Structure 1
Amino acid sequence: MHAGNAPDDEADRAPPAPLPALGLVAWLFQALLFVAVPIGLLTLASLLAILVVRVGADLRIGVDVFTPEALRPRLPLREIAGRGVAADILRQVLVAALVVGLALWMDGAAWRRRLALTVPAEPRRSSPLRLWLLLAVWPVIHIVWVTETARALNGGVAQGIHLSPFLSPVSVAGWFAYVVVLAPVAEELIMRGEAFARASRIMRPAGAIAATALLFSLAHLSESGGIARPVSLLPLAITLGWLRWRTGRLWPCMLLHGWSNLALITYLLWPVSD
């Protein structure tokens, strides 16, 4: 009567397939690529975005792009703010394009599987209810962790902040799209997509989750925020890695990442009564 369920039950109890044996030199080389490839793609996308936005904006306002810095006209603050948002948006688009291009080059027609954009070859049992419960409680967890770590590490995060008054309505809309949609999609493609695929070749799931979480957090290190920003992102990064492993898909990571960003910026931008 229960014979039909036996294979599934045995598959659930079966140990994971062993990783291919690698020599120390080969393992170190793959570990180096795990770090170097994502950082290289992020750096290339940032440089290209800055270059394209600067050249395009200069041409738009009639400034010779080859004018020496000392002779360039002083730009209005609205122009500077708009260029910053445009560069952020373009950087995320370029990151996504570079990751997809690399996956196509590496795996050809199987690029979607490499980036966990298809149903995994070995189906995972994951409850949609658990995902929705996680989405429901996550904003509180994330907001409390971010604000408390920022307070402890002088990270400068507090409720009642304001966007730059020099942003045009179009720039404000672009910034929200960048934070809630573009950044989550691009960052998940590169971290829980490409980087996770590389880490999984040389590490067990727990190692891949931890390694990609650390890489993701360190990629947000900045001079102004110090270590507060990376520390504040660790729980999110670990949870996203767990989702990537548990579901075998990337879309739940994108969904949680975007929802987390939306909840946090809504809290931070919410006006504080005097």
Structure 2
Amino acid sequence: MNTVFTWISQEPALTAGLAAIAILFMHNWATEGRDKARIQSGEAGARLGVYNKVLIHLWALTAVTVAMWLLSGRDLDMLGLGMGVEGWRSWVAWGLTALGAAYFIYTVVSAAASSKTRATIRAQIGEAGELDLIRPETPAEFKRFNWVALTAGITEEVILRGFLIGVLSLIMPLPVAAVIAIAIFVIGHAYQGMAGMLRILPISIGLTVIFLLSGSLWPCIILHALTDLVGGAVFQILHKTQEADQAEAVPA
């Protein structure tokens, strides 16, 4: 315990950053039920309100954690915002990023082209947990969701992989710090239900591996943002084709 207090006294800025993350997580946990109830009740603008809250919270927390990191005497490269290492590790990380990007682009093309693929995706969404908080349904929501997706791709990587792993690795082995960061990332998506959290787990592991290989957040940011943007694109395709697909499924 004395060691913990000693570290806190030596790293007040990093401690403040960790505290900010904890406070935001607790706030989101405490308000999640209310937000979900507002959306499920059909309250006008409820989902847009949640999107706006996410945008404000994530960018504010990113500003705080980056500021605390810099105040601790460390630079942005150490946070993961440089180009990282050179050599085979970088090539592998960027290769995995390219493969992931190709898969997600293929998913959008397939969803747009095939009613059978859309039926499969609809079934998967039905089993994927509680998506009411994030699934857009109106044109305004689809536009705002794209900003949320881009924001999450940038800010969550800086907060939960750059800052959190960077801080935790100062007081514990790097693999342990990485596992804790993965767990917190998954728990942060608890609003999607257990099925949604289990779906996100391999994504979080993959992004963490890419970060540890490359030493850079940029491939993770690109892949994370693309993942969420593709999700929004698929939601929009499903929404636009729902009536036509239902009509096609009815026997003549």
Tell me the SS of whatever aligns to 2:186.
helix
* Structure 1 Cα separation of the partners of residues 237 and 68 of structure 2: 40
State the Cα distance separating 1:241 from its structure 2 match. 0.6
Judged with a 3 Å threshold, the aligned counterparts in structure 2 of structure 1 residues 215 and 77 are, in CA distance, closer, same or farther, namely: closer
Q: Quote the residue 2:24 is aligned against.
A: 42
Judged with a 3 Å threshold, the aligned counterparts in structure 2 of structure 1 residues 270 and 193 are, in CA distance, closer, same or farther, namely: same
* Structure 2 Cα separation of the partners of residues 199 and 156 of structure 1: 31
Letter aligned with residue 194 of structure 2: I
State the Cα distance separating 1:40 from its structure 2 match. 2.4
State the Cα distance separating 1:105 from its structure 2 match. 1.7
The answer to whether the Cα contact below 8 Å between 1:38 and 1:190 also exists between their aligned partners in 2 is no
After alignment, is 205-214 or 250-259 more displaced?
A: 205-214
Q: Quote the residue 1:188 is aligned against.
A: 157
2:208 to 217, 220, 241: 241
Q: Quote the residue 2:68 is aligned against.
A: 102
2:101 to 135, 141, 148: 135
Q: Looking at CA atoms only, which structure, 1 or 2, has the larger radius of gyration?
A: 1
The answer to whether the Cα contact below 8 Å between 2:190 and 2:196 also exists between their aligned partners in 1 is yes
Letter aligned with residue 163 of structure 1: P
* Structure 2 Cα separation of the partners of residues 233 and 183 of structure 1: 14
Residues 26-52 of structure 1 show CA distances to partners (whole Å, capped at 9, x for unaligned) of: 37997xx699546325349969xxxxx
Structure 1: gaps spanning 5 or more residues: 1-23, 48-75
The answer to whether the Cα contact below 8 Å between 2:82 and 2:216 also exists between their aligned partners in 1 is yes
State the Cα distance separating 1:162 from its structure 2 match. 6.6
Q: Quote the residue 2:3 is aligned against.
A: 26
Judged with a 3 Å threshold, the aligned counterparts in structure 2 of structure 1 residues 45 and 89 are, in CA distance, closer, same or farther, namely: farther
Residues 138-180 of structure 1 show CA distances to partners (whole Å, capped at 9, x for unaligned) of: 5779x999975962xx61469xx97344x6x4x542331112x
Q: Quote the residue 1:115 is aligned against.
A: 79
The count of aligned residue pairs is 207
1:218 to 176, 184, 187: 187
Identity of aligned residues (%): 18
Q: TM-score, normalised by structure 1?
A: 0.61
The answer to whether the Cα contact below 8 Å between 2:142 and 2:232 also exists between their aligned partners in 1 is no
State the Cα distance separating 1:185 from its structure 2 match. 0.8
* Structure 2 Cα separation of the partners of residues 26 and 269 of structure 1: 51
2:136 matched to 1:163? Answer: yes
Tell me the SS of whatever aligns to 1:226.
helix
Map of 1:21-100 to 2, 5 A cutoff? Answer: 26=3, 36-37=18-19, 39-40=21-22, 42-43=24-25, 77-100=43-66
Question: What is the root-mean-square deviation in Å for CA atoms of aligned residues?
Answer: 4.0
The answer to whether the Cα contact below 8 Å between 1:139 and 1:260 also exists between their aligned partners in 2 is no
Residues 83-112 of structure 1 show CA distances to partners (whole Å, capped at 9, x for unaligned) of: 3332222122212211111112212xx330
2:219 to 234, 249, 252: 252
- Larger relative helix fraction: 2
Judged with a 3 Å threshold, the aligned counterparts in structure 2 of structure 1 residues 80 and 99 are, in CA distance, closer, same or farther, namely: same
* Structure 1 Cα separation of the partners of residues 126 and 79 of structure 2: 33
2:166 matched to 1:197? Answer: yes
The answer to whether the Cα contact below 8 Å between 1:41 and 1:99 also exists between their aligned partners in 2 is no
Letter aligned with residue 145 of structure 2: W
2:174 matched to 1:209? Answer: no
Tell me the SS of whatever aligns to 1:242.
helix
* Structure 2 Cα separation of the partners of residues 103 and 254 of structure 1: 19
Residues 31-85 of structure 1 show CA distances to partners (whole Å, capped at 9, x for unaligned) of: xx699546325349969xxxxxxxxxxxxxxxxxxxxxxxxxxxx9545454333
The answer to whether the Cα contact below 8 Å between 2:17 and 2:64 also exists between their aligned partners in 1 is no
The answer to whether the Cα contact below 8 Å between 1:38 and 1:195 also exists between their aligned partners in 2 is no
